Amino acid sequence: MASLNFTQLGHKSSNSFAEFALTRHAPPSFTRPTRVGFKVFASDSQAEPDLSVCVNGLQMPNPFVIGSGPPGTNYTVMKRAFDEGWGAVIAKTVSLDAAKVINVTPRYARLRAGANGSAKGQIIGWENIELISDRPLETMLKEFKQLKEEYPDRILIASIMEEYDKAAWEELIDRDAIEINFSCPHGMPERKMGAAVGQDCALLEEVCGWINAKATVPVWAKMTPNITDITQPARVALSSGCEGVSAINTIMSVMGINLDTLRPEPCVEGYSTPGGYSCKAIHPIALAKVMSIAKMMKLEFNDKEYSLSGIGGVEKGDDAAEFILLGADTVQVCTGVMMHGYGLVKQLCAELKDFMKKHNFSSI
């Protein structure tokens, strides 16, 4: 069989990235794939392709990760994800004070293929105006703890977002293994949250400094695509101590105007606001952003074991293969799970294996 041979990159000295591991451990010995380019080495082996990955000390049975959002909103759905076989789960983003979050209904709008967006057409675009979790932090922490007790060998990662407040970030970081949400386009920017940080490299550097000075576990920074050059904040995040980056979050959008009611969609009591665009329509944009980050990481951080998680419009195994070929170590899925269910991971794994067999790749 053939295998992908990417260059080795590195991480902070400590890299066990399991949820609620509050101390760093030496990572197991492994060789990480590089970001860009590959070589094929032929062999006579006909073994089943190996989908397992080890990233920043995280051992996963496959590279498919539930992306932060509605699919990771509570214990029940995250348990379902583990039972179905997802490689890891990133929970819905939390903050210290859930009381400031009010999620409205309806908060989703869909773009369909076909004439005039026919209601029968295939969904190709999805917009949401959903905020971060409106559930109390202590409730979420209790459920995280229960999941880790029931699935000690599975990877559960918290996603966190806070205001521009060092003490608040430090209090939140005391508790979790984390992906930092610097990327939500409608994530309360008036409070300097979400993309408001990811679009401001000076602010990003300061906040990353607070986080990585306090964190006892590896940190991934989630990047916004709503910026001219996504490599700039990615570079700052890695230079400021983060072990990895995730890209992309949703793209700022207005799904459309209802020409009967003359109201934008989604419409809440006659009002709306720009939201985050996802689904298969953003996949080519996400590929370009991930490729840009991968090339930058290879050129500027080639001596370190940093990780890259690709996100955007993944509904098939081939979608994931594209991200991996361009340099991603793991692939996140959020809208795809909302549309097709948690069982989608079995299809993704089967299709990715078929792709690997076709090209004689023995491992990710």
Range of the domain at 191: 64-359
| pLDDT for position 196 | 77
Q: Which amino acid is at 167?
A: A
- The span from the CA of 92 to the CA of 70, in Å, is 6
Band of the pLDDT at 190, cuts 50, 70, 90?
low
Residue 107 maps to which CATH number?
3.20.20.70
Percentage of the chain beyond pLDDT 70 is 82
pLDDT of 1 strictly over 60: no
Band of the pLDDT at 197, cuts 50, 70, 90?
confident
For residue range 226-250, what is the model confidence (pLDDT) as tens digits?
A: 999 999 999 999 999 999 999 999 9
Which strand (E) or helix (H) includes residue 172? helix 166-173
Whether 272 is in a domain gets the answer: yes
Catalytic residue among 54, 184, 267, 279: 184
- The span from the CA of 195 to the CA of 249, in Å, is 9
Number of domains in the chain: 1
Whether 119 is in a domain gets the answer: yes
pLDDT of 136 strictly over 80: yes
More confident site: 186 or 302: 302
Percentage of the chain beyond pLDDT 90 is 68
For residue range 73-86, what is the model confidence (pLDDT) as tens digits?
A: 999 999 999 999 99
Written as one string, the DSSP assignment of 285-335 is HHHHHHHHHHHHHHHHSTTS--EEEEESS--SHHHHHHHHHTT-SEEEESH
| Residues 156, 88 contacting (CB under 8 angstroms) | yes
pLDDT of 189 strictly over 80: no
| Residues 49, 118 contacting (CB under 8 angstroms) | no
For residue range 28-76, what is the model confidence (pLDDT) as tens digits?
A: 443 444 434 444 444 445 689 999 999 999 999 999 999 999 999 999 9
Instruction: State the pairing for strand pair 108-112/88-90.
Output: unpaired
pLDDT of 21 strictly over 70: no
Whether 241 is in a domain gets the answer: yes
For residue range 274-313, what is the model confidence (pLDDT) as tens digits?
A: 999 999 999 999 999 999 999 999 999 985 789 999 999 9
| pLDDT for position 25 | 38
Whether 153 is in a domain gets the answer: yes
Whether 23 is in a domain gets the answer: no
- Residue 267 annotated among the catalytic residues of the structure: no
Whether 35 is in a domain gets the answer: no
pTM, full prediction: 0.84
| pLDDT for position 217 | 85
| pLDDT for position 109 | 95
| pLDDT for position 35 | 36
| pLDDT for position 193 | 65
**C-beta atoms surrounding 315 within 10 Å:** 20
54-57: long-range contacts at Cβ-Cβ below 8 A with a sequence spacing of 24 or more?
Answer: 54/28, 54/30, 55/17, 55/244, 55/307, 55/329, 55/330, 56/11, 56/15, 56/17, 56/27, 56/218, 56/243, 56/244, 56/305, 56/307, 57/11, 57/15, 57/16, 57/17, 57/25, 57/27, 57/28, 57/218
What residues form DSSP beta bridges with 307? Answer: 244
| pLDDT for position 176 | 53
Instruction: State the pairing for strand pair 219-222/178-181.
Output: parallel
The mean pLDDT of the chain is 86
Whether 24 is in a domain gets the answer: no
Whether 319 is in a domain gets the answer: yes
